[in-house]
């Protein structure tokens, strides 16, 4: 296995040193961060010499009824390691968090998709509109309460 | 009572016309038999071209099927030969749509305007000894003039369809036709110089050896230019189906579509016929007094096969590259050919201004040298350097270098 | 005299022969030149991610077939790897080899389609496409022998593969490998160094490496920009850690390079298939898993493979039930489309079609 996955503890140590008040905790394989600091943490993780996460694999949103989880899968093509960064959004209405579009262009369509299907706004995304469904569609179908 | 066609009549040299005229002249008044004989020949020509187009559409589909490792149409009739009939019947029964916002009159004229030059072109082509509808003394010029009607028809189609793809196709088509007309004319001037006449019959009789040998460069330019004017790959930009779907005829359906298709397939045949006449010594061959038409058809078949072959092989050029090819490559070499031919004719002709077979052979030798030289020079000038085959980077687990 | 001109907006697609599915590009042209481009998709959106929440883990395999329908084996594989990671199941050796083998055959089939349609978009009237189809048909016939289906194979299952290969599969595979060499050479001879292909594709629609990485471009498109990043090498799954193969890269990042990388990858895939045939040994083809899978609650897995179009990932979240709580598909085709605007603006209409062909997108996967 050439690519190594960084543990949550290792990430926490590094990220909390770089961006203050951003880390909420860590588990074995993932780092939990504050949802308002997503863009800053993303910028730090990309620019930091040791982390160097230049490739965004995927952005996923999971609906847990009382809260939403946004999961970022990251890879460093130079250092050859991967990481999972998670953040939590409480509530169900008027959800928003900062966009990482300006850090990774690859977030463009995925953030639009999450807005379209999950109804989470990404502040700072230049073109946040529906992607799979048509403009004027009611609701966000991938939510658990959409039947 | 018998009618006599005076030697001053333009149709006097046309054997077929005289035979029919004499035959009908026994029954009808002279003025009427004149018209009837003309009508008969026109019927023959129009139907000949249309049937030929139908047959060629089958031949080409079968050929391209073989090029594709497929079978091609083989169900209806022997070897599927009646497939064109089935296609036409199907198209006739289809709804004839006119798009909303189309210029109806222009839209309707287009199929006729496309088909007319194709048939008209055949009027001056002798398909056997003394057998052309009209032996015009400016036959070559006539052919060139008539073919350029197509560009008007293409633009009319694109404009009248009220469709943006059609507009793309039309503007491309016109750009191509106008550009390629120039080298084509230049290349034909060489032939006219050698033959000493613009009449198609005289060009054929002047070919004691085929002009393909005497004017190789002109043949090349004419062949390429013609395939561009016929909208065939690699120059089929006006109807590039992967880019602008069908280009200028995107909105045509039913009978109109059938006519446009017939015009396209027929144009290949008539252009081949012109090329056979000008470069492959027309109907001449062994026993040509009787079998002239057989030789003529066989030569057309060979050229049509080459057209299909090219079509099945090459990708398409881009519009700027296509125009650059016309202006930077074909035009210079056709001018070189014209100059070389003019000099050769000036020095080789005898007192009466004619060239005998020996002169033609000498010219063939020189012109082949000129052709190879100029193709080599201009070919290198416009050539893209072919990338050398690179070794596959040997990436092993330990040697991945990531920037 | 100045000629008054104005830009023209054209909808390329969704019914267009060269958009590889129901894909639409709203393009503003200045003559033939592209000024603006906006990709619009969703015409094939079937809600796979939502459907997956209603089906059990085995049934979802059939949904994955319909994502990238020209490389369904690889989709199966990615999904099964994710489920196995959830369950913590070890796959038997023979199943690993069978998966590797079928995935590589599928990659050959998919790349053949990619090359064929790329050349079709260049305007070749289908000759190379038909050559490519000839070989692809043989591969689909092999799949039919394996599982009875040609396109939507559903061959793999969490824990292995559904059937062992029938006895007459192996001679047929050998015969295919023998014929394929000559057939593939025909395509290469016809087209690889063709002058017109060179002129049309070299230096067109350049994708610089830094943009490719930043925009999450993966697969052959990334490798054509000069980075040898292949998940089969970087995080070997199934039997890839025992395979010897190279990762072809090109440095230009133009249309020709993307095409060239695919051509070379077919050679490598055939190498892998041959090694699989040599190394495979008899044994069970499916791990001992229950009929209805119930991964532990709260388990998460991100299974990724190097699919023919790029990195295909399945992010699965389990709540302990019989169907996943959430399934997110990271589709390479969608990610690769991120760079469309950068690639196309400033080029001509004809280049646009060819560039789309060189990205080798599949709308089943883009829209999901």
The three state secondary structure string of C143-202 is HHHHHCCCCCCCCEECCEECCCCCCCHHHHHHHHHHHHHHHHHHHHHHHCCCHHHHHHHC
Q: How many CA atoms lie within 13 A of B49 on its CB side?
A: 29
pLDDT at C331 over 50: yes
Sign of CA dihedral B11, B16, B20, B23: positive
pTM: 0.86
Q: Judge residue B149's burial from the number of C-beta atoms within 10 Å of its C-beta, 0-12 exposed, 13-18 middle, 19 or more buried.
A: middle
Q: Is the pLDDT of residue B401 over 70?
A: no
Helix or strand holding residue B314 (H, E): none
CA angle C141/C161/C321 to nearest 5° reads 130
Residue C255 lies in a domain: yes
Is the pLDDT reported for residue C18 higher than 70?
yes
B69–C250 CB contact, under 8 Å: no
Q: How many CB atoms lie within 10 A of CB C95?
A: 24
> How do A95-98 and A120-123 pair as beta strands?
parallel
Answer whether C226's CB lies under 8 Å from C249's CB: yes
Round to whole Å and give the CA distance between B224 and B271.
12
Helix ranges (DSSP H) in chain C: 48-52, 60-65, 72-87, 93-121, 127-147, 169-191, 195-201, 209-214, 220-224, 231-234, 255-279, 332-336, 340-344, 349-359, 363-367
* Interchain pair C367, A132: CB under 8 A: yes
pLDDT in tens, B220-240: 899 988 888 888 878 888 887
Q: Which residues contact A141 (CB under 8 A, 6 or more apart)?
A: A117, A133, C47, C50
**Residue B383: predicted pLDDT:** 66
Interface of B with C in 233-272 (CB under 8 A): 233-234, 236-237, 240-245
Torsion from C-alpha of C42, C48, C51, C57, nearest 10 degrees: 180
For chain C, which chains pass the contact test of at least 3 CB pairs under 8 Å? A, B
Residues A75-90, mean pLDDT to the nearest whole number: 86
**Structure tokens, B265:** 């397939």
Structure tokens of C34? 């592209």
Question: Would you say C305 and C312 are in contact if contact means Cβ atoms under 8 Å apart?
Answer: yes
Confidence band of B403 (pLDDT split at 50, 70, 90): very low
Write C297-302 long-range contacts (CB < 8 A, 24+): C299/C86, C300/C86, C301/C82, C301/C83, C301/C85, C301/C86, C302/A57, C302/A58, C302/A73, C302/A84, C302/C82, C302/C85
Residue B178, token pair as written in the block: 């106008």
User: Taking CA atoms, what residue in A is nearest to C314?
Assistant: A58
CB of B313 within 8 Å of any CB in chain C?
yes
In 3D, which of B305, B296, B307 has the Cα closest to residue B122? B296
Whether residue C361 is contained in a domain is answered as yes
CB contact under 8 A, A57 and C45: no
> Cβ separation of C122 and B316 shorter than 8 Å?
yes
Helix runs in B94-138, H state only: 104-122
pLDDT digits (tens, 9 = 90+) for B23-81: 877 787 777 877 887 788 788 888 888 888 888 889 888 988 988 888 888 888 888 88
**What is the C-alpha radius of gyration for chain A, rounded to an integer number of angstroms?**
15
Q: Which residues of C touch B321 (CB under 8 A)?
A: 199-200
Peptide bond into C14 cis (omega under 30): yes
The pLDDT tens digits for C129-175 are: 888 888 899 999 999 988 888 888 888 888 888 888 888 889 999 99
Q: Does pLDDT of B128 surpass 70?
A: yes
Q: What is the pLDDT of residue B211?
A: 83
A31 pLDDT band, cuts 50/70/90, is: confident
Which residues of chain A neighbour C305 with C-beta distances below 8 Å?
A: none
| Residue A30: φ, ψ to 5° | -140, 155
**Token pair for residue C326?**
């959430």
ipTM rounded to 2 decimals: 0.87
Say if residues B106 and B156 touch (Cβ distance below 8 Å): yes
State how beta strands C8-12 and A30-33 pair: unpaired
Give the pLDDT mean for B97-112: 86
Q: Supply the DSSP string of B212-240, one letter for each residue.
A: HHH-HHHHHHHHHHHHHHTT-TTS-GGG-
**Which among A73, A118, A66, A75 has a CA at the least distance from the CA of A97?**
A118
CB contact under 8 A, A105 and C313: no
pLDDT per residue over B143-174, tens digit each? Answer: 888 888 888 888 888 888 888 888 888 888 88
Higher confidence at residue B12 or residue C71?
C71
Residue among C19, C144, C191, C157 at smallest CA distance from C84? C157
The structural domains of chain A, ordered by start, are 4-94 (3.30.460.80)
The candidate with the shortest Cα–Cα distance to B280, out of B299, B297, B293, B306, is B299
A85-101 as b/e, with b when 16 or more CB fall inside 10 Å?
Answer: bbbebeeeeebebbbbb
The DSSP secondary structure of B143-191, one letter per residue, reads HHHHHTHHHHHHHHHHHHTT-HHHHHHHHHHHHHHHHHHHHHHHHHHHH
Which is more confident, B134 or B167?
B167
**Is C29 contained in some domain?**
no
Q: In chain B, how many H helices and how many E strands?
A: 15, 0
Specify whether the CB–CB gap between C228 and C249 falls below 8 A. yes
In sequence order, what are the residues at sequence separation of 6 or more whose Cβ sits closer than 8 angstroms to the Cβ of residue B226?
B184, B271, B275
Model pLDDT, residue B391? 43
Work out the mean pLDDT of chain B and round it to a whole number.
81
Weakest mean pLDDT among A86-95, B21-30, B100-109, B176-185: B21-30
List chains adjacent to chain A, taking adjacency as at least 3 C-beta pairs closer than 8 Å.
B, C
Beta partners for A32?
A: A25, A86
Q: Evaluate whether residue C86 is within a structural domain.
A: yes
The whole-number average pLDDT for the span A64-90 is 86
A94: tokens are: 């008027």
- Record: contact B236-C122, CB cut-off 8 A: no
What is the per-residue pLDDT across C279-289, written as a single tens digit (0 to 9) for each?
888 888 888 88
Interface test with B, best of C17, C29, C32 (most B CBs within 10 A): C32
Q: Is residue C32 domain-resident?
A: no
Which chain A residues have a beta carbon less than 8 Å from that of C49? 117, 142
Q: Of B238, B72, B79, whose CA–CA distance to B161 is shortest?
A: B238
Cβ <8 Å between B403 and C190: no
Report yes or no on C8 lying in a domain: no
Q: What is the DSSP letter of C286?
A: B
CB nearest C246 (choices: B165, B319, B395): B395
For the record, the structure tokens of B385 come out as 């350097």
Which residues are registered as beta bridge partners of A58? A73
B30 touches chain C (CB under 8 A): no
pLDDT score recorded for residue C19: 73
- The whole-angstrom separation of Cα B223 and Cα B220 is 5
> CB under 8 Å to C152, separation ≥6 — which residues?
C62, C65, C66, C69, C72
Q: What is the CATH number of the domain that holds C303?
A: 1.10.645.10
B96 membership: H or E segment, kind and range: none
Give burial (CB, 10 Å; 0-12/13-18/19+) of C57: buried
Domain count, chain C: 1
**A54: chain B residues, CB-CB within 8 Å:** none
| Domain annotation covers residue C318 | yes
- The three-class DSSP label of residue A79 is coil
Q: Distance (Å, rounded) from C-alpha B291 to C-alpha B120?
A: 24
Residue C185 resides in a domain: yes
Q: pLDDT value at position C108?
A: 92
Nearest to A99 by CA among A35, A30, A47: A35
Q: Are A27 and A88 in contact (CB under 8 A)?
A: no
How many residues does this entry show for chain C?
A: 368
The larger pLDDT score, comparing residue B121 to residue B382, is at B121
- Domain hosting residue C304, numbered range: 42-367
């Amino acid at each position: 296995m050439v690519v190594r996955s960084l543990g949550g503890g290792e990430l926490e140590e590094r990220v909390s040193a770089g961006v203050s008040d951003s880390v909420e905790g860590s588990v074995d394989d993932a780092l939990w961060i504050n949802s308002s600091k997503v863009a800053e943490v993303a910028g730090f993780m990309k620019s930091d010499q040791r982390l160097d996460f230049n490739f965004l694999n995927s952005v996923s949103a999971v609906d847990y009824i009382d809260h939403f989880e946004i999961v970022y899968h990251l890879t460093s093509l130079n250092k050859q390691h991967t990481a999972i960064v998670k953040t939590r959004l409480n509530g169900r209405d008027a959800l928003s968090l900062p966009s990482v579009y300006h850090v990774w262009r690859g977030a463009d369509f995925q953030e639009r998709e999450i807005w379209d299907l999950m109804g989470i706004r990404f502040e700072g995304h230049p073109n946040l509109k529906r992607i799979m469904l048509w403009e004027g569609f009611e609701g966000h179908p991938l939510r658990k309460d959409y039947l | 009572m018998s009618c006599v066609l005076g030697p001053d009549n333009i149709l006097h040299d046309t054997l077929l016309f005289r035979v029919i005229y004499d035959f009908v002249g026994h029954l009808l008044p002279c003025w009427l038999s004149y018209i009837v004989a003309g009508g008969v020949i026109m019927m023959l020509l129009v139907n000949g071209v249309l049937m030929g187009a139908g047959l060629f559409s089958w031949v080409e589909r079968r050929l391209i099927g073989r090029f594709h490792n497929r079978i091609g149409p083989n169900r209806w009739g022997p070897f599927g030969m009646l497939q064109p009939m089935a296609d036409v019947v199907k198209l006739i029964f289809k709804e004839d749509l006119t798009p909303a916002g189309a210029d109806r009159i222009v839209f309707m004229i287009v199929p006729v305007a496309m088909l007319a030059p194709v048939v008209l072109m055949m009027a001056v082509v002798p398909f056997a000894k003394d057998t052309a509808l009209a032996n015009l003394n400016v036959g070559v010029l006539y052919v060139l003039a008539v073919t350029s009607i197509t560009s008007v028809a293409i633009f009319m189609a694109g404009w009248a369809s009220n469709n943006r793809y059609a507009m793309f196709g039309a503007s491309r088509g016109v750009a191509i036709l106008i550009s390629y007309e120039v080298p084509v004319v230049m290349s034909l001037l060489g032939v006219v110089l050698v033959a000493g006449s613009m009449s198609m019959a005289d060009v054929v009789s002047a070919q004691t050896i085929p002009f393909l040998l005497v004017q190789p460069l002109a043949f090349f330019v004419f062949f390429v230019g013609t395939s561009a004017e016929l909208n065939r790959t690699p120059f089929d930009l006006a109807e590039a189906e992967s880019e602008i779907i069908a280009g200028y005829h995107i909105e045509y359906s039913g009978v109109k579509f059938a006519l446009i298709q017939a015009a396209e397939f027929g144009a290949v045949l008539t252009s081949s016929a012109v090329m056979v006449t000008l470069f492959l010594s027309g109907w001449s061959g062994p026993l040509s007094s009787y079998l002239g038409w057989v030789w003529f058809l066989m030569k057309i078949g060979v050229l049509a096969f080459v057209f299909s072959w090219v079509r099945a092989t090459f990708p398409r050029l881009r519009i700027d590259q296509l125009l650059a090819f016309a202006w930077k490559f074909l035009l210079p070499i056709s001018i070189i050919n014209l100059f070389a031919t003019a000099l050769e004719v000036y020095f080789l002709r005898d007192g009466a201004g004619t060239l005998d077979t020996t002169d033609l052979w000498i010219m063939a030798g020189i012109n082949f040298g000129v052709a190879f030289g100029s193709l080599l020079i201009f070919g290198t000038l416009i050539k893209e350097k072919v990338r050398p085959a690179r070794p596959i980077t040997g990436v092993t687990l330990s040697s991945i270098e990531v920037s | 005299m100045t000629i008054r001109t104005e830009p023209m907006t054209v909808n390329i697609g969704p019914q267009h022969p060269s958009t590889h599915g129901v894909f639409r590009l709203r393009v503003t042209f200045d003559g033939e030149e592209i000024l603006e481009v906006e990709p619009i998709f969703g015409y094939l959106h079937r809600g796979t991610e939502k459907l997956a929440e209603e089906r059990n883990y085995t049934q979802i395999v059939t949904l994955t077939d319909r994502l990238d329908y020209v490389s369904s084996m690889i989709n199966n594989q990615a999904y099964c790897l994710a489920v196995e990671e959830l369950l913590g199941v070890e796959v038997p050796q023979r199943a690993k080899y069978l998966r590797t083998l079928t995935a590589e055959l599928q990659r050959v089939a998919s790349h053949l389609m990619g090359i064929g349609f790329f050349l079709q978009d260049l305007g070749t009237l289908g000759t190379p496409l038909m050559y490519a189809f000839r070989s692809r048909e043989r591969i689909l016939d092999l799949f039919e022998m394996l599982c009875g289906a040609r396109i939507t194979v559903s061959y793999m299952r969490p824990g292995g593969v559904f059937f062992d290969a029938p006895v007459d599969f192996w001679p047929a595979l050998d015969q295919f490998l023998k014929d394929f060499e000559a057939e593939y050479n025909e395509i290469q001879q016809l087209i690889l160094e063709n002058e017109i292909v060179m002129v049309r594709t070299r230096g067109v629609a350049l994708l610089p490496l830094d943009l490719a990485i930043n925009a999450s471009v993966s697969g052959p498109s990334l490798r054509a920009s000069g980075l040898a990043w292949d998940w089969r090498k970087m995080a070997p799954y199934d039997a890839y850690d025992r395979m010897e193969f190279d990762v072809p890269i090109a440095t230009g990042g133009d249309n020709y390079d993307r095409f060239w990388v695919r051509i070379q990858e077919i050679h490598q895939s055939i190498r892998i298939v041959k090694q699989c045939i040599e190394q495979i040994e008899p044994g069970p083809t499916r791990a001992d898993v229950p009929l209805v899978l119930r991964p532990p609650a709260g388990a998460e897995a991100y299974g990724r493979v190097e699919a023919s179009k790029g990195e295909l990932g399945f992010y699965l979240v389990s709540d302990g039930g019989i169907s996943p709580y959430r399934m997110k598909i990271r589709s390479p085709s969608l990610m690769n489309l991120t760079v469309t605007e950068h690639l196309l603006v400033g080029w001509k209409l004809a280049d646009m079609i060819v560039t789309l062909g060189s990205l080798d997108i599949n709308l089943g996967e883009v829209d999901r």
